[in-house]
Amino acid sequence: MKKNDRISAFVQQLGADPSLALDPRYQGYFTCFNEQQYYEAHDVLENLWLERRDEHYLFFKGLIQVAGAYVHLQKQFQHPTHPKHGRRLRPAVRLFHLAAKNLGAFAPRHLQLDVSAILELCELQAEEIIAGDYERNPWEPTHAPALQLLPT
């Protein structure tokens, strides 16, 4: 089974809300993100991003980078002394900064998302890591952020 087929089957299981009139992969991103399945959130939205070259291209890219940053934080939290995973805080900060750069033009709100809140989250997470001299991970599973789509 090709990756595209696996993603499509996975997205179908997530149960998108047709009344939102948003691509099920976009909706699936938030479902996965909020379940702390950051890698899957990245994959689901990347599937949509790769086929689009429209006005949402940088928006989707930024959200993919946010999920990628949280993959780094989650892996580092789970394996802080691991030779590879223990060094994931710098790449996380880089991705938070790239995400903010790509999402900035879409603030304050885009595709039913409070982009300003995402930008604030990226800035806060990066600042906490930098303030801790890349030694302290601010992410914990019990206090993980959730991203919600807003009503139209």
Question: What pLDDT digit, counting tens, does each position of 111-142 carry?
Answer: 999 999 999 999 999 999 999 999 999 999 99
What is the C-alpha to C-alpha distance for residues 88 and 142, in angstroms, rounded to an integer?
20
User: What does DSSP assign to residue 110?
Assistant: E
Cross-strand partners of 113: 110, 149
Cross-strand partners of 149: 113
pLDDT value of residue 28? 93
What residue has token string 């989650």? 74
Do the beta carbons of residue 85 and residue 78 sit within 8 Å? yes
pLDDT value of residue 34? 97
Residue 51's identity, in one-letter code, is E
What is the C-alpha to C-alpha distance for residues 128 and 46, in angstroms, rounded to an integer?
27
pLDDT value of residue 109? 97
Q: Decide: helix, strand or coil at residue 141.
A: helix
Q: Per-block average pLDDT, block size 10, for the chain (152 residues)?
A: 75 76 92 96 94 93 98 97 94 98 98 97 98 97 95 80
Per-residue burial over 123-145, b if 16 or more Cβ lie within 10 Å, else e, is: eebbeebeeeeeeebbbeeeebe
Residue 30, judged by CB atoms within 10 A of its CB (0-12, 13-18, 19+), counts as buried
Long-range Cβ contacts of 84-92 (<8 Å, 24+ apart): 89/129, 89/134, 89/135, 89/137, 90/134, 92/125, 92/126, 92/129
